[in-house]
């Protein structure tokens, strides 16, 4: 199938689904749920077809409103979509986890009110992330970042009768809006200096004339996007927002939002726009420093938590540290094989962590749904009464620690290996982070396999719509774990090669495509 | 302590922004003549070709609804999301049944 024909449907389908949801809602509860599942399922189909197409044929450029982005000039005047392999991996990840989260909400959100708004917002959240992943225009990136952010503010505070939901929502909204305005200011500065908003043409202009303004804009971008990705020392909103959100939403927040809005955007801006016009080494080390703080703080804070979802949230911060470490080394060792491996590890870990953290968050949701508590001290002996759920949690926890037969091993190995080659101290820090991470998850598992608490005795495994997404994610983790190096060689390394090849990214748009 | 550092960093950011707001080092304000063509070539294109390519006499609407119409869809979605979110958060509390 031709990628050009299917790419627009990646936006059209969720947009149509979200805007038609208030009308479909008039037909009743069943129609609304079926509609949400159909829309996200169709998006998943389009996303996988797109991934396959980009994987086969390389970079895909699509101009909105014309055949060519150039018009009668030699610079782009229209908005372009530009999907390289990295973007396609993100699209696949978003559509997959988004679909599973919607299916899971059928059972999980049953007792809540206002569900028409809920499904509208969750589809818009997915739409915003897809828009970020495929765009090749800097202002358009901002618009979709805002769509994603506003939908996630509303979804974090969705349970408006709980104090923590509202508190976390307010915190997240204030911090997130400031971070977004940093990004907007950076875009305004770049536009004022260079007069274009297309990423690839901006890269050309930047290479011709690197100015102080561009560096200030880059600093604003890095600051804003580190906020969005939940890097330390600005991770505090995350530790409140993710536990307070409904579990289907924390699966999407932990698994997707912090990566698309943070890691993906940062990578795209650093590699594809700033490419060779700033010192990659300096920027790389800035990212590495934040990565090391994030690694230690996130994982160490995860160990001391008693609240199950808060533990998972801090663990997300810790795992973002690994991804940032890979990204930082990929920049600092740009062009060498070490950098390539580190970046491949970062992309691989992004995908893997989306699956693992979605799985763990969904399981946390099941536990809360069954027992009504998130306190780990009250959850002992869950393995007796909820065997399937506990087993899935075991898989997820082993994968996130990086046990060899599961998918987390390969991605973490790539990051360890490259960091140890690049600088042994960084390797040691990564190992220390994993030690903390292991301690945190062993603590949870120890509780689950302990002596049954009386509260736990009446718990049961959840119904099908909540169990199937968990099973699918667990199977995906195991299957991906069986072919780690094949996936790495066939998908992740080519994705890094495409990302590092800035010239191809630029000429795909400017070459009169 | 934290507050002091915060104010100091705000002061630093303000200083940097003032520095690049100086036309000698950074952004040019009110570019004209040659600078207009060097810095605002995209705007120049829209002004020159807008009427003939799009057909509207108002350049701003030409840009907002044709050249960059996709952004406008995005803005409409932002508004829709904000309304959906506000209604969702202002709905009555769920009754304590369970």
**Tens of pLDDT along A161-186?**
888 899 999 999 999 999 999 999 99
- Give residue-wise pLDDT tens across range A206-254: 999 888 999 999 999 999 999 999 898 888 899 999 889 999 999 999 9
Q: Do A199 and A138 touch, CB atoms closer than 8 A?
A: yes
Which residue of chain B comes nearest to A76, CA vs CA? Answer: B42
Chain A and chain B share a number of CB contacts under 8 A equal to 130
Q: What is the pLDDT of residue A335?
A: 83
Tokens encoding A398: 């082993």
The burial of B15, by beta-carbon neighbours within 10 Å (0-12 exposed, 13-18 middle, 19 or more buried), is given as exposed
Contacts of B87 in chain A (CB under 8 A): 114, 117
Alpha-helical regions (H) of A423-483: 424-448, 464-482
Q: List residues bridging with A83 in a β-sheet.
A: A60
Interface test with B, best of A124, A141, A166, A188 (most B CBs within 10 A): A124
- CA A99 to chain centroid, in Å, comes to 14
- Give residue-wise pLDDT tens across range A87-106: 999 999 999 999 999 999 99
Q: Does B15 touch chain A (CB under 8 A)?
A: no
Question: Under an 8 A CB cutoff, do B90 and A160 touch?
Answer: yes
Interface test with B, best of A12, A167, A216, A369 (most B CBs within 10 A): A216
Report the alpha-carbon distance of residue A151 to residue A430 in Å, rounded: 33
Answer yes or no: is pLDDT of A1 > 60.
Answer: no
Work out the average pLDDT over A123-142. Answer: 94
Tell me the Cα Rg of chain A: 22
Q: What is the pLDDT of residue A150?
A: 95
Q: Do A345 and A414 touch, CB atoms closer than 8 A?
A: yes
Residues 40-79 of chain B with CB under 8 A from chain A are: 40-43, 45-46, 49, 53, 66-71, 73-75, 77-78
Tokens encoding A130: 């897809």
Q: Does B34 touch chain A (CB under 8 A)?
A: no
Q: Give B96's pLDDT tier (boundaries 50, 70, 90).
A: low
Report the alpha-carbon distance of residue A117 to residue A262 in Å, rounded: 26
Q: Does B94 touch chain A (CB under 8 A)?
A: yes
Report the alpha-carbon distance of residue A473 to residue A3 in Å, rounded: 27
> If you ran DSSP here, which 8-state letter would residue A264 be given?
I
CB-side exposure of A41: number of CA atoms within 13 Å? 9
Tokens encoding A163: 């104090």
DSSP state letters, A220-233: HHHHHHHHHHT-TT
Return the closest-CA partner of residue A122 out of A258, A251, A282: A251
Length of chain A: 513
3-state secondary structure of A81: strand
Q: What is the pLDDT of residue A24?
A: 94
Answer yes or no: is pLDDT of A513 > 50.
Answer: no
Task: Give the count of beta carbons closer than 10 Å to the beta carbon of residue A306.
Answer: 13
Q: Give A199's pLDDT tier (boundaries 50, 70, 90).
A: very high
Q: For chain B, give the longest Cα–Cα distance.
A: 72
Question: Under an 8 A CB cutoff, do B39 and A195 touch?
Answer: yes
Report the alpha-carbon distance of residue A319 to residue A100 in Å, rounded: 21
Q: What is the pLDDT of residue A54?
A: 92
Question: Under an 8 A CB cutoff, do B25 and A160 touch?
Answer: no
Report the alpha-carbon distance of residue A80 to residue A138 in Å, rounded: 10
Answer yes or no: is pLDDT of B98 > 60.
Answer: no
Answer yes or no: is pLDDT of A389 > 60.
Answer: yes
Alpha-helical regions (H) of A157-235: 163-194, 199-208, 212-229
Report the alpha-carbon distance of residue A72 to residue A69 in Å, rounded: 9
- Give residue-wise pLDDT tens across range A282-339: 999 999 999 999 999 999 999 998 888 999 999 999 999 999 999 999 999 888 889 9
The kind and range of the H/E element at A132 are helix A115-134
Q: What is the mean pLDDT of chain A?
A: 90
Report the alpha-carbon distance of residue A106 to residue A127 in Å, rounded: 19
Return the closest-CA partner of residue A246 out of A104, A129, A34: A104
Q: What is the 3-state secondary structure (H, E, C) of B44-80?
A: HHHHHHHHHHHCCCCHHHHHHHHHCHHHHHHHHHHHH
Contacts of A158 in chain B (CB under 8 A): 88-89
Q: Do A266 and A497 touch, CB atoms closer than 8 A?
A: no
Interface test with A, best of B9, B24, B37, B81 (most A CBs within 10 A): B81
Q: Name the more confident of A113 and A460.
A: A113
Instruction: Give the range among A180-184, A394-398, B30-34 with minimum mean pLDDT.
Output: B30-34
Q: Does B8 touch chain A (CB under 8 A)?
A: no
Work out the average pLDDT over A64-85. Answer: 89
């Amino acid at each position: 199938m031709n990628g050009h024909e299917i790419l627009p449907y990646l936006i059209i389908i969720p947009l149509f689904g979200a805007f038609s949801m208030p009308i479909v809602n008039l037909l009743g509860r069943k129609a609304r749920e079926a509609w949400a599942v159909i829309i996200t399922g169709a998006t998943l189909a389009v996303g996988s077809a797109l991934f396959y197409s980009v994987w086969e044929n390389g970079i895909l450029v699509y101009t909105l409103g014309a055949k060519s982005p150039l018009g009668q000039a030699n610079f782009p005047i229209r908005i372009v979509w530009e999907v390289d392999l990295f973007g396609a991996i993100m699209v696949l990840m978003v559509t997959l986890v988004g679909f599973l989260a919607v299916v899971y909400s059928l059972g999980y959100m049953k007792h809540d009110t206002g569900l028409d708004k809920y499904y509208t917002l969750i589809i818009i959240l997915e739409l915003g992330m897809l828009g970020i992943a495929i765009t090749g225009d800097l202002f358009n990136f901002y618009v979709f970042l805002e769509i994603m952010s506003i939908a996630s503010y509303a979804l974090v505070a969705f349970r408006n009768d709980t104090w923590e939901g509202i508190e976390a929502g307010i915190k997240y909204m204030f911090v997130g809006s400031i971070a977004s305005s940093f990004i907007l200011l950076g875009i305004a500065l770049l536009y004022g200096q260079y007069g274009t908003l297309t990423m690839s043409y901006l890269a050309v202009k930047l290479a011709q004339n690197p100015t102080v303004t561009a560096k200030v804009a880059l600093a604003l971008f890095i600051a804003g996007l580190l906020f969005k990705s939940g890097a330390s020392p600005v991770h505090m909103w995350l530790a409140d927002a993710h536990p307070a959100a409904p579990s289907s939403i924390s699966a999407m927040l932990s698994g997707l939002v912090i990566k698309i809005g943070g890691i993906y955007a940062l990578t795209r801006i650093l590699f594809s726009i700033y490419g060779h016009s700033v010192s990659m080494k300096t920027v790389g080390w800035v990212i590495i420093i934040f990565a090391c703080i994030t690694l230690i703080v996130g994982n160490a804070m995860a160990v001391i938590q008693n609240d199950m979802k808060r533990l998972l949230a801090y663990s997300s911060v810790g795992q973002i540290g690994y991804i940032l470490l890979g990204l930082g080394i990929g920049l600092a060792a740009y062009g060498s094989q070490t950098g390539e491996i580190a970046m491949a590890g970062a992309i691989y870990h992004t995908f893997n962590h989306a699956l693992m953290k979605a799985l763990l968050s969904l399981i946390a949701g099941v536990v809360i749904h069954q027992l009504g508590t998130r306190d780990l001290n009250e959850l002992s002996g869950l393995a007796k009464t909820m065997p399937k759920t506990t087993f899935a949690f075991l898989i997820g926890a082993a994968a996130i620690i990086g046990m060899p037969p599961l998918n987390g091993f390969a991605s973490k190995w790539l990051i360890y290996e490259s960091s140890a080659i690049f600088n042994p101290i960084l390797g040691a820090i990564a190992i220390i982070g994993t030690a903390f991470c292991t301690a945190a998850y062993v603590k949870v598992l120890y509780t689950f396999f302990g002596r049954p608490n009386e509260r736990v005795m009446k718990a049961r495994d959840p119904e099908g719509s909540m169990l199937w997404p968990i099973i699918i994610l667990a199977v995906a983790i195991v299957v991906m774990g069986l072919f780690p190096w094949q996936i790495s060689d066939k998908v992740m390394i080519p994705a890094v090669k495409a990302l590092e090849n800035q010239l191809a990214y630029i000429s795909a748009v400017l070459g009169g495509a | 302590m934290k507050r002091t550092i915060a104010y100091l960093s705000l002061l630093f950011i303000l200083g940097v922004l003032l520095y690049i707001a100086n036309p000698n080092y950074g952004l040019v304000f009110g570019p004209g003549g040659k600078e207009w063509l060097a810095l605002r070539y995209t705007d120049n294109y829209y002004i020159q070709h807008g009427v003939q390519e799009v057909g509207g006499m108002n350049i701003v609407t030409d840009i907002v609804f044709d050249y960059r119409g996709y952004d406008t869809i995005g803005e409409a979605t932002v508004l829709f999301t904000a309304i959906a979110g506000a209604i969702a958060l202002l709905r009555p509390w769920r009754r304590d049944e369970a």
